[in-house]
Amino acid sequence: MRIFVHDYSGHPFQAQLSRELARRGHEVVHSTCAAYVSGKGDLAHGAARGLRFVTIGEGRALKKDAYVRRLFQEARLGRELARQVRRERPDVALLGNLPVPMLVMAAVVLGASGVPWVLWHQDVTAIALKRFAAAGISRLMGVAARIFEQGEKWAARRAAAIVVIADSFVRVHQEWGTAGKVTVIPNWAPLDEIVPAARRNAWAAEHGLAEVRTLLYSGTLGLKHNPVLLVRLAERLRELGEQVRLVVINEGPAVPVVQKAAAARNVALTLLPFQPYERLPEVLGTGDVLVVLLADDAGEFSVPSKTLSYLCAGRPVLGLMPADNPAAELIRQAGSVVLPPRESSLDDAARWVREILDDAERAESLGKESRALAEREFALEGCASRFEEILAGAVRRGRFGA
């Protein structure tokens, strides 16, 4: 098969899937959006025979916090993606993480071109917008939620098949009338690329972190996540007599918020942009405790990929996140702790972190359990076989009209 994969975010495990499909003899073009600033996977090196990496949105960063401007940018990116699909002429396409304007445009073009496509549904955009509207974040969010839901539903109905990442998504597709073509395949992380690293490593030494206790957050961090909680957690630990350094790896609107809060509370902070992917094992290995932060309104319909990377790295993980999030269950299975993402949880969170920092044997045990869980849950072969079957089925249905 000639397979076109577009992963808007450029995450590691989607690229790993494309490598595996190419290794199995398929011709794969793996497309990502350079304009979306986030931690990226390995999108250049180690390409297998039959695999090419391409991008859209080169030379311009997406304005994540300028909503109207962002809408127009996403529409332009949708046109660019459409042109890219036309050039590649695939047998089937797999689309993941697309903003709704891009998703709708891609569905129109693929339908007109007769190319069957599979929706890899990573987030339900309409659900998030509805919750923002309910929280009073913006009056326009309610209108946007209704419009985006119609667009997302329209596109889903035109997909040949749909892959969702958690059982909770199935309820949405039941409401949309698309549940009959849904397969649940949980996300994973690349075990062979994100491996446990020594706590004292070269990256830690370069940034003066080898000999200090650290709380580390690496990944997407939006204002809706309440990033000040990270600073307040470090402050609570200081009140308990634990001197820790907060390490935040991020780029975006949350950066000045964290910086200002840390300065106001005199919290030791190392703030860095997204690091090269090949150094991610060292980065995560530098955290004595790795922190996941996810807002209450993310609930069941968003699975933070950083959690999966944290588990691969073999470190203790603190989840400040909704208890019903699919990633929360993984953290609990690994023996670590999940607490609500609220100020009222910080005393319990600080006490748990202090216990881990003061008990090296327990910290090591939790790290080993994190890695063991990842090795049990994130085996690529089975996931790749299921995707291969779904894509082949989409091609057959496209050829024979089934």
Convert the pLDDT of each residue in 137-151 to its tens digit. Answer: 455 555 666 787 899
What is the pLDDT averaged over residues 169-176?
92
394 plus 368 within the same structural domain: no
Question: Can you give the CATH number for the domain in which 7 is found?
Answer: 3.40.50.2000
105 plus 147 within the same structural domain: yes
Mean pLDDT of the chain: 88
Q: Is residue 193 part of a domain?
A: no
What is the pLDDT averaged over residues 316-327?
92
What is the pLDDT averaged over residues 216-233?
87
Number of C-beta neighbours around residue 58 at 10 A: 9
Instruction: Tokens 């569905």: give the residue.
Output: 107
Provide the pLDDT confidence category of residue 402 given band limits of 50, 70 and 90.
very low
- C-beta of residue 227 within 8 angstroms of C-beta of residue 254: yes
Q: Is residue 339 part of a domain?
A: yes
How confident is the model at residue 251, as a pLDDT? 87
389 plus 359 within the same structural domain: no
Asked if residue 55 has pLDDT above 70, the reply is yes
Q: Is residue 211 part of a domain?
A: yes
136 plus 240 within the same structural domain: no
103 plus 176 within the same structural domain: yes
Asked if residue 117 has pLDDT above 60, the reply is yes
d(CA 309, CA 134): 32
Asked if residue 298 has pLDDT above 70, the reply is no
295 plus 233 within the same structural domain: yes
Instruction: Please give the model's pTM, rounded to 2 decimal places.
Output: 0.83
Asked if residue 375 has pLDDT above 90, the reply is yes
What is the pLDDT averaged over residues 241-245?
94
Q: Is residue 194 part of a domain?
A: no
Q: Is residue 197 part of a domain?
A: no
251 plus 392 within the same structural domain: no
* Three-state SS annotation for the chain: CEEEEEECCCCHHHHHHHHHHHHCCCEEEEEEECCCCCCCCCCCCCCCCCEEEEEECCCCCCCCCCHHHHHHHHHHHHHHHHHHHHHHCCCEEEEECCCHHHHHHHHHHHHHHCCCEEEEECCCHHHHHHHHHHCCCCCHHHHHHHHHHHHHHHHHHHCCEEEECCCHHHHHHHHHCCHHHEEECCCCCCCCCCCCCCCCCHHHHHCCCCCCCEEEEECCCCHHHCCHHHHHHHHHHHHCCCCCEEEEECCCCHHHHHHHHHHHHCCCEEEECCCCHHHHHHHHHCCCEEEEECCHHHCCCCCCHHHHHHHHHCCCEEEECCCCCHHHHHHHHCCCEEECCCHHHHHHHHHHHHHHHCCHHHHHHHHHHHHHHHHHHCCHHHHHHHHHHHHHHHHHHHHHCC
152 plus 217 within the same structural domain: no
Which residues constitute the domain of residue 135? 2-187+379-400
How confident is the model at residue 45, as a pLDDT? 60
Stretch among 183-197, 249-263, 285-299 having the lowest mean pLDDT: 285-299
- C-beta of residue 303 within 8 angstroms of C-beta of residue 187: yes
How confident is the model at residue 41, as a pLDDT? 77
* Angle value at C-alpha 378, between 376 and 383, nearest 5 degrees: 120
Q: Is residue 117 part of a domain?
A: yes
What is the pLDDT averaged over residues 234-257?
93
Asked if residue 304 has pLDDT above 80, the reply is no
Q: Is residue 209 part of a domain?
A: yes
115 plus 171 within the same structural domain: yes
Q: Is residue 338 part of a domain?
A: yes
Number of domains in the chain: 2
How confident is the model at residue 148, as a pLDDT? 79
d(CA 285, CA 330): 19
Q: How many CA atoms lie within 13 A of 117 on its CB side?
A: 32
How confident is the model at residue 64, as a pLDDT? 58
107 or 144, greater pLDDT: 107
126 plus 169 within the same structural domain: yes
Asked if residue 123 has pLDDT above 90, the reply is no
Tokens of 179: 């549940």
Share of the chain above pLDDT 90, in %: 63
Number of C-beta neighbours around residue 324 at 10 A: 11
Tokens of 255: 């950066």
What is the pLDDT averaged over residues 39-51?
74
384 plus 261 within the same structural domain: no
Asked if residue 49 has pLDDT above 50, the reply is yes
How confident is the model at residue 305, as a pLDDT? 82
243 plus 290 within the same structural domain: yes
217 or 252, greater pLDDT: 217
